[in-house]
């Protein structure tokens, strides 16, 4: 398994994964499609504990499908583009690690009433870009070879949907396995705050 993650996945496997995630719930009669966008506050945590690394401000955008399994339970597969990474300050320079992913979370939702929902589930991410910016200048140094091309993570949070089709989403994402290939284990740590909008023709405020 780890050897597979080190090698990464090719484009065909990535497209197959996206197709499976987005098409698997189509048997349901109650499916609602939404678009979303928001901000990321990300860091890269080392296995040894705290570091001097700071948080990087980024963004995410994409779409999702809400599949109702019952009156209170739903399944929510998503696809999003997410800019992540970290900032690092030292005596001699300041640097920013830039990691951009295509993320595919699949969340289970539990409706609490009055529009609020708990959500949690796994997420798989595909690294599409990895760069370093030092003292305000972006270097074309290819640091992807230092990172796994696949990030396996879990996600959890809370969302709210009102009758105007607009919703708010707050979640935390943490890697389950190290994202680096070297001896020093590091994990993605991302806090997300976003808005989503229901674009379904048959919008139901009680969904």
Cβ atoms of 175 and 188 within 8 Å: the answer is: yes
Q: What is the CATH number of the domain that holds 148?
A: 2.40.160.20
Residue 191's pLDDT band, with cuts at 50, 70 and 90, is very high
203 assigned to some structural domain:
no
Among 71-75, 112-116, 152-156, 193-197, name the one with the lowest average pLDDT: 112-116
189 assigned to some structural domain:
yes
The pLDDT tens digits for 152-173 are 999 999 999 888 889 999 999 9
126 assigned to some structural domain:
yes
155 assigned to some structural domain:
yes
pTM of this structure? 0.80
List the domain range (segments joined by +) for residue 21: 2-198
Give the number of domains in the chain: 1
205 assigned to some structural domain:
no
The pLDDT tens digits for 89-104 are 776 778 889 999 999 9
122 assigned to some structural domain:
yes
The pLDDT tens digits for 12-62 are 555 455 545 444 444 445 899 999 999 999 999 886 544 557 899 999 999
pLDDT of residue 141: 67
16 assigned to some structural domain:
yes
124 assigned to some structural domain:
yes
The fraction of the chain above a pLDDT of 70, given in percent, is 77
């Amino acid at each position: 398994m780890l050897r597979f993650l080190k090698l990464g996945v090719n484009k065909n496997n990535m497209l197959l994964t996206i197709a499976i995630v987005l098409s698997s719930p189509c048997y349901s009669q109650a499916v609602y499609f939404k678009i979303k966008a928001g901000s990321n506050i990300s860091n890269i945590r080392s296995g040894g504990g705290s570091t001097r690394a700071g948080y990087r401000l980024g963004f995410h955008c994409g779409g999702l499908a809400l599949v109702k399994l019952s009156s209170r339970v739903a399944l929510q597969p998503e696809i999003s583009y997410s800019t992540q990474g970290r900032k690092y300050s030292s005596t001699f320079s300041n640097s920013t690690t830039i990691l951009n992913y295509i993320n595919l979370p699949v969340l289970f939702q539990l409706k609490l009433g009055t529009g609020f929902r708990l959500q949690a589930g796994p997420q798989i991410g595909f690294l599409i870009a990895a760069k370093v910016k030092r003292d305000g200048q972006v270097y074309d140094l290819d640091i992807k070879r230092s990172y796994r091309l696949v990030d396996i993570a879990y996600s959890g949070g809370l969302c709210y949907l009102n009758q105007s089709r607009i919703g708010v989403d707050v979640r935390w994402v943490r890697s389950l396995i190290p994202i680096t290939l070297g001896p020093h284990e590091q994990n993605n740590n991302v806090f997300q705050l976003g808005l989503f909008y229901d674009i379904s023709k048959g919008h139901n405020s009680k969904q």
